[in-house]
Amino acid sequence: MSLYAIGDLHLHFQTPLKARAQMKERVWKNHEEKFKRGCEKLLTAEDTLVLVGDHSWGRDLAECEEDMRYIEALPGRKILLRGNHDMFWDANRTERLNERFAGRLYFLQNNYYAYGDCALVGTKGFTFEGPFYLNARGRIVGWDEKAEQHARKLVERELQRLRVSFEAARADGYRRFIMFLHYPPTSILEEESAFTAMAEEYGAEQVIYAHSHGEARFHDSIQGEKNGIVYSLVSGDYRKWQPLKVLD
């Protein structure tokens, strides 16, 4: 039994592809096929695969049906986290998704899932991504303060959701945590954040995140060990469509 994670599949079986990166970069060519084949080699029915958000370009559930069927057909138990592009997923109606896909897909939001004696907790998260103002040398000299104010509100909301997830697991007696975020744990220019603080507060062993894709974005946030927590980026193109083994 193993736990794996990957993010940013950005499936589009039913929707026109609007993302420029996916049209230009080689890594995205037939990525659905590459990923499926890799999973079939790597995972068994006893394994768990956490998909760390941005599953589909579909604008609602009707436009995601084929994408969901593709995910359902992957081996193992599939747990999905909400990404910023997952328009089909109303954050306040996660229970409805869990009812609709009961026994097939598991949606992680304001709840947790058990993996052995570990609790898998998480939320979408949020990071401030600008706009930044640059000088002639390309150095950041300022940013849109209104946008930053708005980002602070979104961060607060996501922190509340993350705490609900941790507390639900803790109330059931869990003391070991793996924390999942769609967004990176820190914004550009930050070395720590309220998300890294919460991971430390609850003693999470690992923080797994995605969202940063395209080579220029791979090092936007923390990777490796910091204050006893291991941080890993698992966006699909960064992983070249091979899920990361998180735990045995």
Q: Figure out which of the listed residues 30, 44, 84, 227 binds Fe ion, where binding follows CB under 5 A.
A: 84
Q: Give the C-alpha distances (Å, rounded to integers) separating 238 from 6, 17, 79, 215, 216.
A: 10, 20, 20, 8, 11
54 binds Fe ion (CB under 5 A): yes
Report the sign of the C-alpha dihedral through residues 38, 42, 45, 51, in that order: negative
Rounded to whole angstroms, how far apart are CA atoms 41 and 35? 10
Interface residues for Fe ion in 96-115 (CB under 5 A)? none
Question: Which lies closer to Fe ion via its Cβ, residue 49 or residue 119?
Answer: 49
The runs of H, that is alpha helices, within the chain are: 20-24, 31-42, 65-72, 94-100, 145-171, 194-202
Rounded to whole angstroms, how far apart are CA atoms 45 and 39? 11
Question: Minimum distance between the CB of residue 175 and Fe ion, rounded to whole angstroms?
Answer: 30
What are the structure tokens assigned to 231, written together? 């941080």
Judged by CB under 5 A, the stretch of 42-50, 89-97, 145-153, 209-217 that binds Fe ion is 209-217
Interface residues for Fe ion in 211-230 (CB under 5 A)? 211
Interface residues for Fe ion in 157-196 (CB under 5 A)? none
17 binds Fe ion (CB under 5 A): no
Q: Figure out which of the listed residues 76, 83, 184, 243 binds Fe ion, where binding follows CB under 5 A.
A: 83
Provide the 8-state DSSP code for 179.
E
Neighbouring residues of 195: CB distance < 8 A, sequence distance ≥ 6: 125, 155, 158, 159, 162, 181, 185, 186, 207
Give the CA dihedral 210, 215, 216, 222, nearest 10 degrees: 40
Mutual orientation of helices 145-171 and 194-202 as an angle, nearest 10°? 10
Question: Minimum distance between the CB of residue 10 and Fe ion, rounded to whole angstroms?
Answer: 6
Judged by CB under 5 A, the stretch of 20-28, 47-55, 59-67, 71-79 that binds Fe ion is 47-55
Provide the 8-state DSSP code for 21.
H
Judged by CB under 5 A, the stretch of 26-34, 54-62, 67-75, 135-143 that binds Fe ion is 54-62
Question: Minimum distance between the CB of residue 9 and Fe ion, rounded to whole angstroms?
Answer: 9
Closest residue to Fe ion using C-beta atoms: 54
Question: Minimum distance between the CB of residue 210 and Fe ion, rounded to whole angstroms?
Answer: 7
Question: Minimum distance between the CB of residue 1 and Fe ion, rounded to whole angstroms?
Answer: 28
Question: Which lies closer to Fe ion via its Cβ, residue 169 or residue 186?
Answer: 186
Question: Which lies closer to Fe ion via its Cβ, residue 169 or residue 235?
Answer: 235
Question: Which lies closer to Fe ion via its Cβ, residue 52 or residue 119?
Answer: 52
Q: Which residues bind Fe ion (CB under 5 A)?
A: 8, 54, 83-84, 211
